[in-house]
């Protein structure tokens, strides 16, 4: 990196667009309001603020990465492009039949989500393969052209092609796609054998259909973003964060937008993993609480847990994603009383506009952030806008009105709001830990997002988590995660057959083909050969099971000993996950997977100085309330806390973009990177 070079990461959240710039080791964080109707404008506004704050020219940006919610919002809001589906004759309704499980097993009136592609835009063609990819019926190309004409009449802008057993033999799918592109040159085409070449017709159909429906949306957004960024003078190629925690270039994001559905949350988990690793922690629960939601995830042995069974909105998507669980609890979550007289918090949110009352932008309903302000955890003088006619009295009046419905005073009501919000998030934390067989006491909780550090010490104490880590850039950690993530691509090939029938040559050949794809794409992104890494995994199951266990392959050539090792590891992992295993039972191979990684040099960041004392960092003392009791607590300026400095709670640590609240009985220490390491007071 040259003296003047700069790396920039931009993450769009529900309330703020965060920009992190690293220039000569110095980290500069800027936050600007998100612009949901025109996301690219929010990015440009953030870049302008960042350039001024960090003092760099657009031409000095050598690395530009972006976490986007465009695909996510399109799925949640159903604002994707009109799409058609072409499938094998006789399987027109597989997308609608789906799985037998209902959204709510006890609700007989519950309805499944509408199919991504409605029935009148689903078409079939005569062809058939068997389960090993052998052609039973040749593709009728004339019928495909007739289908193309029918699709043209619908006026759709995208087509998904998902033929039966195409993951074993993609020849027919390729030919269908070729004909559709010939007949419909202005329509984008996605085929399952490139999007998700795996078993399970429903999941493959949903994922391919979503990819097709999102391609026009993502293509427009990425095109606008590239054009605007280039127009600003940034010459670096635009990298987009994927759901698996790896970066891809803009062209790949256009082609496979379904891989970006958890782009922002994945960047946050990557950032948390990086910061915690530098602090000496590898087993983590990550908690990203922003303005509208809270995302939680698990990291084991320094690697985020990745799943191929993650739901986004109403749809389960089969591509690899960091396993993130989301609840509608954020700093802007609105407090209200339901018909039964119970206090509720969220999922309604004040969002970026108008935001909480204390933003001074016209918000009138009390939120989680307003509750913190009323209880002294947020500095009213530093937080309330000077140029707007809003004060503590307005926040108090809103909680008085809410409290009248509950028979409580304003402070008690504010505490109740925080208790309800914490209960919502505690359930989410248990989902990714206790409910999956993990003991929270063996993990550290990494808190980030603008609101995460306000709640994390309390939540950790409730769950018996001994340590909370709050990174120096907690309020914009997702943007920092974009700067330290590697380039990454995932490839898979389903090969369902008895393990006893699998020979080493078949496995070796399949992995060689997947690796060739990975090498090609990493080369296209100018990743040197010595910076390319490949991880091989086999999904196995006992014969008759519906779900698989992923088993990493040992290094080296694939031979008979390798297959024996894979089978042994399968039994061990099955025992670990489900509590039982039977080495005498027949085993099946389901899917081979390969992750191709292009290792990126993480930027060096300056350490926190050790000059000064903790007492020098005390900005003021203020009354802060915990569980109805008032405490005279020190308020620390985080930028003035020295490395190695330690202090006890109750205390508040105010940073540029986030605030940490330590409860009575807790303590904290500043590590060399500026990460706040909180001892929650839980006996270990």
> Per-residue pLDDT tens for 91-103?
999 999 887 777 7
Residue 74 pLDDT > 90: no
Residue 355 pLDDT > 90: no
pLDDT for res 1: 36
Mean pLDDT of 245-266: 92
Residue 350 pLDDT > 80: yes
Q: Are residues 95 and 116 in the same domain?
A: yes
Residue 3 pLDDT > 60: no
Q: How far, rounded to the nearest angstrom, does the alpha carbon of residue 111 sit from its chain's CA centroid?
A: 27
* Among candidate residues 145, 180, 209, the one where a domain is terminated: 209
- In angstroms, the CA 524 to CA 487 distance is 11
pLDDT averaged over every residue in the chain: 91
The pTM assigned to this predicted structure is: 0.89
Q: How confident is the model at residue 623 (pLDDT cuts 50, 70, 90)?
A: very high
Q: What is the CATH number of the domain that holds 560?
A: 3.30.1490
Q: Are residues 164 and 178 in the same domain?
A: yes
- In angstroms, the CA 372 to CA 360 distance is 16
- Decide if 448 is inside a domain: no
The Cα-based distances of 191 to 33, 91, 174, 222 in angstroms read: 38, 16, 8, 21
In the structure encoding, which two tokens stand for residue 600, read together? 């990126």
CB neighbours of 672 closer than 8 A, spacing ≥ 6?
607, 608, 643, 644
The 8-class DSSP code of residue 201 comes to: H
CB neighbours of 353 closer than 8 A, spacing ≥ 6?
33, 361
SS3 state at 352: coil
* Among candidate residues 571, 598, 625, the one where a domain is terminated: 598
Q: Are residues 344 and 397 in the same domain?
A: yes
Q: Are residues 124 and 203 in the same domain?
A: yes
pLDDT for res 660: 96
Higher-confidence residue: 357 or 4? 357
- Tally of CB atoms within 10 A around 95: 24
Q: How confident is the model at residue 4 (pLDDT cuts 50, 70, 90)?
A: low
pLDDT for res 663: 96
Q: How confident is the model at residue 32 (pLDDT cuts 50, 70, 90)?
A: confident
Residue 483 pLDDT > 50: yes
| Spatial contact of 159 and 85, defined as CB atoms under 8 Å apart | yes
pLDDT for res 387: 66
Q: How far, rounded to the nearest angstrom, does the alpha carbon of residue 359 sit from its chain's CA centroid?
A: 27
- Decide if 395 is inside a domain: yes
Q: What is the CATH number of the domain that holds 10?
A: 3.30.420.40
pLDDT for res 352: 66
The tally of domains found in the chain comes to 4
Q: Are residues 70 and 87 in the same domain?
A: no
Residue 676 pLDDT > 90: yes
Of the CA atoms within 13 Å of residue 277, those in its CB half-sphere come to: 14
Give me the torsion for CA of 516, 521, 524, 530, rounded to 10°. -70
pLDDT in tens, 422-441: 999 999 999 999 988 899 99
Residue 2 pLDDT > 60: no
In the structure encoding, which two tokens stand for residue 453, read together? 């550090």
CB neighbours of 589 closer than 8 A, spacing ≥ 6?
495, 496, 497, 498, 499, 502, 538, 539, 540
The Cα-based distances of 652 to 224, 373, 379, 598, 635 in angstroms read: 42, 12, 10, 41, 5
Mean pLDDT of 403-417: 95
| Spatial contact of 194 and 10, defined as CB atoms under 8 Å apart | no
Mean pLDDT of 269-279: 94
Percent of residues, the chain, with pLDDT higher than 90: 72
- Residue for token digits 């914490």? 422
* Among candidate residues 189, 209, 229, the one where a domain is terminated: 209
pLDDT in tens, 186-222: 999 999 999 999 998 999 999 999 999 999 999 999 9
State how beta strands 128-129 and 26-33 pair.
Answer: unpaired
The Cα-based distances of 399 to 344, 394, 410, 447, 622 in angstroms read: 13, 9, 5, 27, 21
Scanning 351-503, the segments in alpha helix (DSSP H) are 368-374, 380-383, 392-406, 410-432, 452-462, 477-484
State how beta strands 158-162 and 83-88 pair.
Answer: parallel
Q: Are residues 29 and 108 in the same domain?
A: no
pLDDT for res 446: 97
Q: Are residues 179 and 235 in the same domain?
A: no
Which residue range(s) make up the domain with 130?
A: 81-209
The Cα-based distances of 359 to 51, 62, 350 in angstroms read: 25, 35, 10
- In angstroms, the CA 424 to CA 292 distance is 13
Q: What is the CATH number of the domain that holds 198?
A: 3.40.50
């Amino acid at each position: 990196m040259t003296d003047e070079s700069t790396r920039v990461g931009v993450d769009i959240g529900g309330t703020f667009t965060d920009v992190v710039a690293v220039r000569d080791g110095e980290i500069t964080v800027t936050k600007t309001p998100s612009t949901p109707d025109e996301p690219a404008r929010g990015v440009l506004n953030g870049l302008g603020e960042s350039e001024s704050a960090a003092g760099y020219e657009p031409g000095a940006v050598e690395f530009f990465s972006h976490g986007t919610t465009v695909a996510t919002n399109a799925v949640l809001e159903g604002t994707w492009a009109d799409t058609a589906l072409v499938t094998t004759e006789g399987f027109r309704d597989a997308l609608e039949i789906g799985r037998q499980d209902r959204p709510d097993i006890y609700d007989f009136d519950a309805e499944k989500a509408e199919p991504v592609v409605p029935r009148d835009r689903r078409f079939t063609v005569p062809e058939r393969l068997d389960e090993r990819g052998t052609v039973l019926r040749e593709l009728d190309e004339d019928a495909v052209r007739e289908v193309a004409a029918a699709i043209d009449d619908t006026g759709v802008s995208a087509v998904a092609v998902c033929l039966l057993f195409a993951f074993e033999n993609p020849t027919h799918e390729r030919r269908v796609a070729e004909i559709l592109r010939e007949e419909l040159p202005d329509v984008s085409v996605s085929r399952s054998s490139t999007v998700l070449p795996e078993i399970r017709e429903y999941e493959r159909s949903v994922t391919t259909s979503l990819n097709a429906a999102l391609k026009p949306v993502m293509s427009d957004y990425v095109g606008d973003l590239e054009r605007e960024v280039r127009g600003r003078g940034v010459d670096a190629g635009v990298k987009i964060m994927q759901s698996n925690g790896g970066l891809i270039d803009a062209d790949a994001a256009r082609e496979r937008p379904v891989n970006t559905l958890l782009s922002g949350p994945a960047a946050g988990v990557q950032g948390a993993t990086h910061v915690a690793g530098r602090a000496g922690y590898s087993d983590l629960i990550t908690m990203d609480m922003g303005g509208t939601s809270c995302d939680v995830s698990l990291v084991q042995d320094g690697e985020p847990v990745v799943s191929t069974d993650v739901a986004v909105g109403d749809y389960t998507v089969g591509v690899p994603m960091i396993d993130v669980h989301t609840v509608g609890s954020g700093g802007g979550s609105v407090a209200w009383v339901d018909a039964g007289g119970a206090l509720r918090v969220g999922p309604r949110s004040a969002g970026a506009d108008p935001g909480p009352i204390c933003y001074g932008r016209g918000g009138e309903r009390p939120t989680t952030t307003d509750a913190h302000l009323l209880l002294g955890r947020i500095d009213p003088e530093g937080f309330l806008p000077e140029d707007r006619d809003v004060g503590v009295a307005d926040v108090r009046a809103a909680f008085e009105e809410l409290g009248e419905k509950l028979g409580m005073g304003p402070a008690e009501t504010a505490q109740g709001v925080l208790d309800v919000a914490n209960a919502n998030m505690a359930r989410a934390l248990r989902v990714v830990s206790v409910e999956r067989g993990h003991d929270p006491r063996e993990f550290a909780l990494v808190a980030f997002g603008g609101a995460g550090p306000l709640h994390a010490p309390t939540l950790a104490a409730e769950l018996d988590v001994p340590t909370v880590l709050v990174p120096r850039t907690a309020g914009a950690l997702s943007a920092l995660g974009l700067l330290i993530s590697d380039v990454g691509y995932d490839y898979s090939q389903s090969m369902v057959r008895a393990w006893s029938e699998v020979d080493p040559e078949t496995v070796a050949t399949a992995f060689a083909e997947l690796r060739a794809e990975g090498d090609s794409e990493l080369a296209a992104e100018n990743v040197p050969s010595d910076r390319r890494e490949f991880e091989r995994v086999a999904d196995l199951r006992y014969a008759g099971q519906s779900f698989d266990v992923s088993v990493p392959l040992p290094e080296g050539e694939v031979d008979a000993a390798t297959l024996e090792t894979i089978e042994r590891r399968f039994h061990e992992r099955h025992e670990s996950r489900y509590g039982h295993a039977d080495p005498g039972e027949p085993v099946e191979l389901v899917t081979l997977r390969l992750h191709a990684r292009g290792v990126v040099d993480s930027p060096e960041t300056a350490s926190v100085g050790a000059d000064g004392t903790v007492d020098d960092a005390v900005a003021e003392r203020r009354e802060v309330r915990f569980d109805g009791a008032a405490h005279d607590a020190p308020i620390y300026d985080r930028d003035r806390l020295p490395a190695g400095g330690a202090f006890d709670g109750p205390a508040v640590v105010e940073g540029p973009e986030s605030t940490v609240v330590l409860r009575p009985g807790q303590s904290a220490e500043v590590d060399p990177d500026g990460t706040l390491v909180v001892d929650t007071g839980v006996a270990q």
